[in-house]
Structure 1
Amino acid sequence: MIKKLVIVFVTLIAYQIHGQEGTASPYSFYGLGNQKFKGTVENRSMGGISVFIDSIHVNLRNPASYATKNLQAFNGESRPVKFAIGGSHNSIKLKTDSSSEEASSTTFDYIALAIPMGRFGFGFGLLPNTSVGYKLESLNNDGDIQNRFRGEGGVNKVFLGLGYRLADGLSIGVDAHYNFGNIQNSIVEYQYDNGVPIIYQSRESNRSDLSGLNLNFGVSYKRMVTNKLELSATATYSPESTITSKNNRSIETISTSTTGQEYVNDSDEIDLESLGQAETELILPSIFTVGLGVGAPRKWFVGAEYLFQNTSNLRRPISSSMPPNGPTHKDATTISVGGFFIPDYRSLNNYFKRTVYRAGFRYEDTGLNINSEAIKEFGISFGVGLPLSGGISSANVGFEVGKRGTTNNNLIQENFINLQLSLSLGDRWFQKRKYN
């Protein structure tokens, strides 16, 4: 089955390169956009933890996971080739002190394949890194629109990873990421004649085409500490790197329809080369995570994870204008706690006893400060893993409810509900056949 599904990988790369609007958040204006969760539905349903690693699920956050040990539940059989694909739907309520508005987005989240080769394991895949999608307006003293900001796009990444099992329970790995994408933003400055907007307005449009490489290193350690309990510990580190931004800017004369649609009547390209802005370097911040967990294999697990991201020197792609209450960045942190429970994975007559039940929560300081307000995020998640035939594949459903931001100091609070769906498929490509 997986061999036939690999062609989907090529199709989705083409779709992702073409682009999708992966968010409807005003906070995606800042930096390179909103950070996307870079894990599977299984991880996200447990508060985002990735400390749990096994032989039948792809772990996108730690390349050491590619070199897990063989399937103990199947008499030491070689671990399977693993294929994972997932997407999500996000419903958001944007709220200020005086008004509210609703928005939604549906996105492809990841596709990945992990292939075992003895003590080694290989992985590759595609997933979004950041996402931009906003429409912001500022008003003048008369309550009319003064500026309108729009933005869309984001950064995606293709990764190729290698894991190696040093000893029983101890694995290391490294991922190489190629980041690519584009971010487009514009600002319209409205002019009025006796309180009536003039027919033709001026718009500045910017486009940044982004590309660059970075690495992610990982280590995973598992050990039985009693006859029934297994301890898990993980760590990952992604060093700071740069991403190249090739920039274009134009000043346009536009007319606007009654529905807000903007039509270009004339356009002049700005010579960014003479300004030293045609090509700039942006920083991808370093990321460090450490996790610890304990559980009974194939029964239950609970773990916690801490993430530190050096976002204090993050900068935005090319744009000459900023909305009111310009931002500052400090280092970002996330604390995640979660786990799962399986009533009886061997049950033959009760499907729901073989189902995996997951739950967790996370608290994140995004590192973004606007008008002296720290933008923080909190989410509670839960989900299920529905077994498919063969015992090494599942369909996964996850939910997350949470909020981002605040209504203090004229800011926007986002209340969100996420629905995530995925397939996690295992296939025995390299199973040795036995003959009597």
Structure 2
Amino acid sequence: MLAIMTVAPAAAQSSGDGSYYSRYGIGMLESFSSPQSEALGEGAFALRTTNYNPVANPALWADQIYTRATGALRVNVINTEGPSGNSAVLGAGSLEALQISFPLYTSRLGVGLALQPYSTSNYEVFRQGTVDVGVDEVTEAAYETAYEGRGGLYLFRSGLGGRVTENVRLGATVDVIFGSIKNTVRTRFPNIPAGTLAPSVSTVQTRVSGVTSTVGSQFSFPDVFQENDLLGFGASISLPATLSGDRTRTLDESLDADTVAVADGEMSLPYEIKAGVAYHMGQRWKFVADGVYAPWSTFDATFENSASSLGQFPLGGEGTLNDRWRLSAGSEFIPAGDDRFRSYFARTGYRLGTFVEQQYTTSDPGTNVYVMGATGGFSFPTAVPGTRVDLTFHVGTRGTSEPDLVQDLFYGGSLAISIGERWFTKPKLR
């Protein structure tokens, strides 16, 4: 376990959430599904909707009425505290998702497309210490090492969701995962005579891509507890994926950087199960509860020149990664229900959610990292039917600063615009 002295300021960050924990595995996993689900604890895997195109469960695309395009931007701020009491504030903005969906048959068969981050690696951590040298009467030298990571993986998802019966919906997608992660280690010796020990820069860049699939289902039961209510159950499973590519190691950062090794390899991503329950109490109230599980302890990578030789966390192997689980719950309230003639704020949606998660990454082999937080937001109607503007907030903690670990206090928000219009409508003759 590295002794963390400090974390770089926000100016050193390029994008993403800037968490120290994004240096492990393939980075911090992203879980955006829709603006609505994000405000409900990032779940809502069983919640039927015509105002959004949720990515997590393709079966929910069956209810599409409008051709819909959604874009979301996120701002995240992290206050990181190390074991020595050192702290830093990191802030960054990023694109959260681009989505489009449209009905092939209104409320029966829908198509969904999405491009969004799958994981983000974005950190800068410093280590200081001394090393025995025994060169030119110098027996001990102080050193400073900076560990930096940039990049991540992206997900492109395309598929269909269809209504099999009035109460059963099924969906399936083809998922392409691709991207690159670049890890750099810089070491210098600030207090020894020039020429005694030279500073060094070593970089490992891993590029991978692969194809997998996700299948989903949703079951609805109307009038369960009272008239006009709806109880729904939904689940999806993303199949295991094998990503192949290459890993390049270079020395120095100038135009004359020396490539010392190039190796082909693969990494295996585990399956992921998402399941949830949703209850529509008429048109005004919605309640959701959801869970996620993925056995990341089975993750493995066959690349040579392991990143562990650069001080990075090893990819795969016993005790290096945890099985990931996540529980969440949330509620939505729209005072006007589906009455479009009520006041503006009565037609606004108000949302709250909460979640707890065991991350797939560990801060040291065998040390679990937990994330707890709360979400909330507003969904504002517009003058264009089918179009809404969503403002979402989140706050939470990740990890712990005791003993010798790192704790993140994170907070931020996102702005999403979901535009819906009726396309491909056949004109009627009068």
TM-score tier after normalising by the smaller chain length = 0.7 to 0.9
Match of 1:68 among 56, 63, 66: 63
Tell me, what secondary structure is at the counterpart of 1:282? strand
Q: How does 1:83-94 map to 2 (within 5 A)?
A: 83-94=69-80
Q: Give 1:39 deviation, angstroms.
A: 1.3
Partners of 1:44 and 1:239 in 2: CA distance:
23
* Contact 2:145/2:187 (<8 A) preserved: yes
Deviation at 1:412, TM superposition (A): 1.1
What corresponds to 1:56 in structure 2? 51
TM-score (norm 2): 0.86
Q: Alpha carbons of 1:245 and 1:291: their partners in 2 closer, same or farther (altered >3 Å)?
A: same
Structure-2 residue corresponding to 1:76: none
1:424 aligns with 2:414: no
Root mean square deviation of aligned Cα: 2.3
Aligned to 2:362: 369
Partner of 2:257: 267
**1:427 offset after TM fit, Å?**
0.6
Q: Is the 8 A contact 1:31 1:315 kept in 2?
A: no
Distance apart, 1:312 and its partner CA: 0.4
**Which of 59, 65, 68 is the equivalent residue of 1:82?**
68
Equivalent in the alignment of 1:355 = 348
The counterpart of 1:138, out of the listed 117, 127, 139, is: 127
Aligned counterparts of 1:337 and 1:320: Cα–Cα separation in 2: 37
Match among 281, 284, 287 for residue 299 of structure 1: 284
Mapped to 2, the partners of 1:154 and 1:137 lie a distance apart of: 21
Measure, in 2, the Cα distance between the counterparts of 1:413 and 1:197: 39
Q: Which residue of 2 aligns with 1:11?
A: none
Q: Secondary structure at the match of 2:261?
A: coil
- Tell me the equivalent position of 2:171: 173
Q: Which runs of 5+ in 2 are unaligned?
A: 1-13, 132-140
Following superposition, the deviation at residue 348 of structure 1 comes to: 2.2
Can you give the 5+ residue segments of structure 1 that lack an aligned partner in the other structure? 1-19, 70-78, 253-262, 273-277
AA aligned opposite 1:340? E
Native 8 Å contact 1:373 1:408 kept in 2: no
Letter of the structure 2 residue corresponding to residue 126 of structure 1: L
Q: Which residue of 1 aligns with 2:31?
A: 37
Q: Which moved more, 1:362-371 or 1:337-346?
A: 362-371
Correspondence for 1:337 among 306, 311, 329: 329
1:23-422 correspondence runs (5 A)? 23-50=17-44, 51-68=46-63, 79-97=65-83, 98-118=85-105, 119-141=108-130, 144-191=142-189, 194=192, 200-224=198-222, 225=224, 226-252=226-252, 264=254, 266-272=256-262, 278-315=263-300, 318-321=306-309, 323=311, 328-345=320-337, 346-371=339-364, 372-422=366-416
Quote the sequence identity (%): 23
Shift in CA distance, 49/417, structure 1 to aligned 2, threshold 3 Å: same
Q: Deviations over 1:232-266 (max 9, x none)?
A: 110000111111131111122xxxxxxxxxx6385
CA distance in 2, matches of 1:433, 1:223: 35
CA contact (8 A) 2:142 2:191 kept: no
Q: What TM-score comes out, normalization by structure 1 length?
A: 0.84
Determine if contact 2:328/2:355 at 8 Å carries over to the other structure.
yes
Distance change >3 Å, CA 207–CA 322, structure 1 → 2: closer
**1:337–1:147 distance in 2 versus 1, CA, 3 Å:** same
- 8 A contact 2:322–2:368 mirrored in 1: no
* Cα deviation, residue 25, structure 1: 1.1
- Residue 141 of structure 1 and its aligned partner are, at CA, apart by 4.4
- Rounded to whole Å, the distance in 2 between the matches of 1:329 and 1:30 is 9
Indicate if the aligned counterparts of 2:250 and 2:257 stay in contact, CA closer than 8 A.
yes
Output the CA distance in 1 between the equivalents of 2:102 and 2:424: 10
Q: Which residue of 2 aligns with 1:8?
A: none
Structure 1 contact 336–362 (Cα < 8 Å) conserved: yes
Deviations along 1:141-176, whole A, 9 cap, x unmatched?
499444221110000121111112100131101111
Distance apart, 1:200 and its partner CA? 3.8
**CA distance in 2: counterparts of 1:285 and 1:198, whole angstroms:** 47
Shift of 1:370: 2.5
What residue identity is the alignment partner of 1:269?
T
